[in-house]
Chains A and B, each alone.
Chain A
Amino acid sequence: DVVMTQSPLSLPVTLGQPASISCRSSQSLVYTDGNTYLNWFHQRPGQSPRRLIYKVSDRDSGVPDRFSGSGSGTDFTLKISRVEAEDVGVYYCMQGTHWPPTFGQGTKVEIK
Protein backbone atom coordinates (compact mmCIF):
# COMPACT_ATOMS: atom_id res chain seq x y z
CA ASP A 1 0.00 0.00 0.00
CA VAL A 2 1.11 3.58 -0.61
CA VAL A 3 2.25 5.20 2.62
CA MET A 4 1.30 8.84 3.12
CA THR A 5 3.50 10.73 5.56
CA GLN A 6 2.41 14.12 6.89
CA SER A 7 4.47 16.68 8.76
CA PRO A 8 4.24 18.21 11.18
CA LEU A 9 1.74 16.14 13.15
CA SER A 10 0.98 19.11 15.39
CA LEU A 11 0.92 22.71 14.22
CA PRO A 12 0.31 25.59 16.65
CA VAL A 13 -0.48 28.71 14.67
CA THR A 14 -1.17 32.36 15.35
CA LEU A 15 -4.39 33.85 14.02
CA GLY A 16 -3.75 35.75 10.81
CA GLN A 17 -0.45 34.00 10.16
CA PRO A 18 0.24 31.46 7.41
CA ALA A 19 0.43 27.72 7.93
CA SER A 20 1.81 24.90 5.83
CA ILE A 21 1.39 21.12 5.97
CA SER A 22 3.54 18.66 4.03
CA CYS A 23 2.41 15.31 2.67
CA ARG A 24 4.76 12.81 1.05
CA SER A 25 3.81 9.57 -0.66
CA SER A 26 5.91 6.40 -0.91
CA GLN A 27 5.19 6.22 -4.66
CA SER A 28 4.43 8.70 -7.38
CA LEU A 29 0.75 9.64 -7.40
CA VAL A 30 0.58 10.36 -11.11
CA TYR A 31 -2.10 8.11 -12.59
CA THR A 32 -2.07 6.61 -16.08
CA ASP A 33 -4.55 9.29 -17.21
CA GLY A 34 -2.05 12.01 -16.31
CA ASN A 35 -3.95 13.22 -13.26
CA THR A 36 -2.61 13.17 -9.72
CA TYR A 37 -5.28 12.08 -7.26
CA LEU A 38 -4.12 13.76 -4.09
CA ASN A 39 -6.83 15.18 -1.84
CA TRP A 40 -6.88 17.21 1.37
CA PHE A 41 -9.57 16.91 4.04
CA HIS A 42 -10.33 18.96 7.13
CA GLN A 43 -12.01 17.51 10.21
CA ARG A 44 -13.20 19.87 12.90
CA PRO A 45 -13.60 18.44 16.42
CA GLY A 46 -16.71 16.29 16.63
CA GLN A 47 -17.48 16.60 12.93
CA SER A 48 -17.07 14.42 9.88
CA PRO A 49 -14.27 15.15 7.41
CA ARG A 50 -14.80 17.67 4.64
CA ARG A 51 -12.84 17.65 1.41
CA LEU A 52 -11.02 20.90 0.73
CA ILE A 53 -8.75 20.15 -2.20
CA TYR A 54 -8.78 17.49 -4.93
CA LYS A 55 -6.30 16.62 -7.65
CA VAL A 56 -3.51 18.44 -5.78
CA SER A 57 -4.73 21.99 -6.21
CA ASP A 58 -8.44 22.21 -7.14
CA ARG A 59 -10.50 23.79 -4.37
CA ASP A 60 -13.91 22.34 -3.58
CA SER A 61 -16.95 24.58 -3.83
CA GLY A 62 -17.26 26.90 -0.85
CA VAL A 63 -13.67 26.47 0.30
CA PRO A 64 -12.09 29.85 1.07
CA ASP A 65 -9.32 30.94 -1.24
CA ARG A 66 -6.91 31.21 1.70
CA PHE A 67 -6.52 27.43 1.25
CA SER A 68 -4.24 26.28 -1.55
CA GLY A 69 -2.69 23.00 -2.58
CA SER A 70 0.46 22.38 -4.54
CA GLY A 71 3.01 19.73 -5.38
CA SER A 72 3.70 16.91 -7.77
CA GLY A 73 4.90 13.33 -7.91
CA THR A 74 5.45 12.40 -4.27
CA ASP A 75 5.63 15.77 -2.50
CA PHE A 76 2.57 17.87 -1.73
CA THR A 77 1.71 20.88 0.42
CA LEU A 78 -1.42 22.43 1.84
CA LYS A 79 -1.11 26.10 2.68
CA ILE A 80 -3.38 28.43 4.62
CA SER A 81 -2.47 32.00 3.80
CA ARG A 82 -3.97 33.54 6.96
CA VAL A 83 -5.26 31.19 9.64
CA GLU A 84 -8.71 31.88 11.05
CA ALA A 85 -10.27 30.43 14.20
CA GLU A 86 -12.53 28.10 12.17
CA ASP A 87 -9.48 26.44 10.61
CA VAL A 88 -8.62 24.47 13.76
CA GLY A 89 -8.90 20.71 13.59
CA VAL A 90 -7.11 17.89 11.85
CA TYR A 91 -6.01 17.94 8.23
CA TYR A 92 -5.52 14.72 6.26
CA CYS A 93 -4.02 14.10 2.87
CA MET A 94 -5.30 11.10 0.93
CA GLN A 95 -4.18 9.46 -2.27
CA GLY A 96 -6.69 7.98 -4.69
CA THR A 97 -4.25 6.97 -7.42
CA HIS A 98 -3.33 3.51 -6.18
CA TRP A 99 -5.50 0.83 -4.55
CA PRO A 100 -6.32 0.92 -1.76
CA PRO A 101 -6.86 4.62 -1.04
CA THR A 102 -4.66 5.65 1.87
CA PHE A 103 -4.62 8.58 4.26
CA GLY A 104 -1.86 10.45 6.02
CA GLN A 105 -1.72 10.31 9.83
CA GLY A 106 -3.29 13.74 10.15
CA THR A 107 -1.96 17.13 11.23
CA LYS A 108 -3.62 18.80 14.18
CA VAL A 109 -3.86 22.56 13.78
CA GLU A 110 -4.51 24.60 16.89
CA ILE A 111 -4.37 28.27 17.78
CA LYS A 112 -1.47 29.42 19.94
Chain B
Amino acid sequence: QVQLVESGGGVVQPGTSLRLSCVASGFTFNTYGMHWVRQAPGKGLEWVAIVWYDETTKYYSDSVNGRFTISRDNSKNTVHLQMNSLRVEDTAIYYCARGTNLDSWGQGTQVIVSS
Protein backbone atom coordinates (compact mmCIF):
# COMPACT_ATOMS: atom_id res chain seq x y z
CA GLN B 1 0.00 0.00 0.00
CA VAL B 2 1.02 3.61 -0.46
CA GLN B 3 3.12 4.91 2.39
CA LEU B 4 4.62 8.37 2.89
CA VAL B 5 6.86 8.99 5.88
CA GLU B 6 8.05 12.50 6.70
CA SER B 7 10.99 13.37 8.90
CA GLY B 8 13.34 16.23 9.69
CA GLY B 9 11.11 18.48 11.75
CA GLY B 10 12.21 20.11 14.97
CA VAL B 11 12.50 23.28 17.02
CA VAL B 12 14.63 26.00 15.45
CA GLN B 13 15.23 29.71 15.84
CA PRO B 14 14.01 32.33 13.38
CA GLY B 15 16.37 32.87 10.49
CA THR B 16 17.76 29.35 10.53
CA SER B 17 17.27 26.42 8.14
CA LEU B 18 15.73 22.98 8.21
CA ARG B 19 15.46 20.20 5.66
CA LEU B 20 12.42 17.96 5.59
CA SER B 21 12.30 14.58 3.88
CA CYS B 22 9.48 12.33 2.77
CA VAL B 23 10.20 8.72 1.87
CA ALA B 24 7.64 7.02 -0.35
CA SER B 25 6.85 3.35 -0.83
CA GLY B 26 4.16 1.15 -2.30
CA PHE B 27 3.92 2.88 -5.67
CA THR B 28 6.01 3.91 -8.66
CA PHE B 29 7.42 7.10 -7.20
CA ASN B 30 8.94 8.49 -10.40
CA THR B 31 5.54 8.74 -12.07
CA TYR B 32 3.91 11.05 -9.52
CA GLY B 33 4.23 14.70 -8.69
CA MET B 34 4.66 15.36 -4.99
CA HIS B 35 3.39 18.17 -2.78
CA TRP B 36 4.18 19.69 0.58
CA VAL B 37 1.20 21.03 2.52
CA ARG B 38 1.36 22.58 5.97
CA GLN B 39 -1.02 23.17 8.85
CA ALA B 40 -0.31 25.81 11.48
CA PRO B 41 -1.47 25.03 15.04
CA GLY B 42 -5.26 25.06 15.17
CA LYS B 43 -5.52 26.27 11.58
CA GLY B 44 -6.48 24.89 8.19
CA LEU B 45 -4.45 23.41 5.37
CA GLU B 46 -2.07 25.53 3.29
CA TRP B 47 -0.46 24.27 0.12
CA VAL B 48 3.30 24.97 0.08
CA ALA B 49 5.01 23.46 -2.97
CA ILE B 50 4.91 20.86 -5.71
CA VAL B 51 7.57 19.12 -7.77
CA TRP B 52 6.76 17.36 -11.02
CA TYR B 53 7.47 13.63 -11.35
CA ASP B 54 10.66 14.35 -13.32
CA GLU B 55 11.69 17.45 -11.34
CA THR B 56 11.38 19.63 -14.45
CA THR B 57 8.79 21.89 -12.86
CA LYS B 58 8.38 23.28 -9.37
CA TYR B 59 5.84 25.70 -7.94
CA TYR B 60 5.69 27.46 -4.59
CA SER B 61 3.17 29.42 -2.59
CA ASP B 62 3.85 33.14 -2.34
CA SER B 63 4.46 32.78 1.39
CA VAL B 64 7.52 30.53 0.90
CA ASN B 65 8.73 31.46 -2.58
CA GLY B 66 12.40 32.38 -2.48
CA ARG B 67 12.97 30.78 0.94
CA PHE B 68 11.93 27.15 0.43
CA THR B 69 13.15 24.71 -2.21
CA ILE B 70 11.48 21.46 -3.12
CA SER B 71 13.50 18.67 -4.69
CA ARG B 72 13.32 14.94 -5.19
CA ASP B 73 15.59 11.94 -5.61
CA ASN B 74 13.80 9.33 -7.65
CA SER B 75 16.57 6.80 -6.98
CA LYS B 76 15.71 7.00 -3.29
CA ASN B 77 11.94 7.56 -3.57
CA THR B 78 12.37 10.72 -1.57
CA VAL B 79 11.14 14.28 -1.78
CA HIS B 80 12.76 17.08 0.22
CA LEU B 81 11.80 20.53 1.38
CA GLN B 82 14.74 22.78 2.13
CA MET B 83 13.49 25.61 4.33
CA ASN B 84 15.74 28.66 4.75
CA SER B 85 15.24 31.95 6.56
CA LEU B 86 12.58 30.38 8.72
CA ARG B 87 10.00 32.64 10.35
CA VAL B 88 7.76 32.19 13.38
CA GLU B 89 4.80 31.95 10.99
CA ASP B 90 6.33 28.86 9.35
CA THR B 91 5.50 26.91 12.51
CA ALA B 92 3.28 24.06 11.38
CA ILE B 93 2.92 20.38 10.74
CA TYR B 94 4.31 19.69 7.28
CA TYR B 95 2.74 16.92 5.23
CA CYS B 96 3.88 15.43 1.97
CA ALA B 97 1.14 14.27 -0.39
CA ARG B 98 1.06 12.34 -3.62
CA GLY B 99 -0.16 13.22 -7.04
CA THR B 100 -1.97 16.05 -8.74
CA ASN B 101 -4.92 15.81 -6.42
CA LEU B 102 -3.24 14.75 -3.19
CA ASP B 103 -4.65 11.25 -3.00
CA SER B 104 -2.35 10.03 -0.22
CA TRP B 105 -0.76 11.87 2.71
CA GLY B 106 1.96 11.16 5.20
CA GLN B 107 1.57 11.51 8.97
CA GLY B 108 3.40 14.85 9.00
CA THR B 109 6.46 16.27 10.72
CA GLN B 110 6.26 19.19 13.13
CA VAL B 111 8.31 22.32 12.65
CA ILE B 112 8.44 24.90 15.44
CA VAL B 113 10.18 28.20 14.81
CA SER B 114 10.68 30.06 18.04
CA SER B 115 13.24 32.28 19.72
Listed in ascending order, the chain A residues whose CB lies under 8 Å from chain B are: 37, 39, 41, 43, 48-51, 54-55, 60, 90, 92, 94, 96, 99-106
Query: Hey, which chain B residues are within 8 Å of A96, CB to CB?
Result: 100-102
Q: Which residue of B lies closest to A104 (CB)?
A: B44
Chain B contact residues, CB within 8 Å of chain A: 35, 37, 44-47, 50, 59, 61, 95, 100-108
* Docked CA distance A54–B102 (Å): 9
28 contacts between A and B (CB under 8 A): A39-B101, A39-B102, A41-B45, A41-B102, A48-B105, A48-B107, A49-B37, A49-B102, A49-B105, A50-B105, A51-B102, A51-B103, A51-B104, A51-B105, A54-B101, A60-B103, A92-B44, A92-B45, A94-B45, A96-B100, A96-B102, A99-B59, A101-B35, A101-B50, A101-B102, A103-B47, A106-B44, A106-B45
